Amino acid sequence: MKFKVIPKDQRRKKEKTISVPDGISLYDLAEKIVGEYRIDFGHCFGFFGDVKSDFYLRSKEKYELFTDLIEEGDDLEPTGALSVKRTQVKDVWKNTGDKMLFLFDYGDCLEWIVESL
């Protein structure tokens, strides 16, 4: 699958196009995106269906690493999101032009729009 990755923060001006196998997990896609921008992958992250509002955490469709951490035994508050480790990209981006917001590092709030090409 091919994606256009568009930074929401204009200080990270470079839009990138990346290609990944459609059977990889959202976790692996996140690692690929973060690597393209040369950022350390040591933070939590999520993908959210609401790409337009500031209330993306309330998205009906959302996938967060927190869900996987809870399943692995961490004592965290559930967010209602699905797993990033068990969800494949082909199950999220089904059509050309589908978009998700990728939020990396909930403290620094690095955000990208990830659009399927």
Write down the pLDDT at residue 11. 64
* Mean pLDDT value of segment 32-53: 92
Domains in the chain: ranges and CATH = 2-116 (3.10.290.30)
Tokens of 95: 């059509």
* Mean pLDDT value of segment 20-28: 96
Dist. CA 27–CA 47, nearest whole Å = 10
Write down the pLDDT at residue 7. 93
* Mean per-residue pLDDT over the chain, rounded: 91
* Mean pLDDT value of segment 98-107: 94
pTM, two decimal places: 0.90
Q: Which segments of the chain are extended strands (E)?
A: 2-7, 16-19, 45-48, 62-64, 99-104, 110-116
Dist. CA 85–CA 83, nearest whole Å = 5
* Segment 48-98, tens digit of pLDDT: 999 987 788 788 999 999 888 877 887 878 788 999 999 999 999 999 999
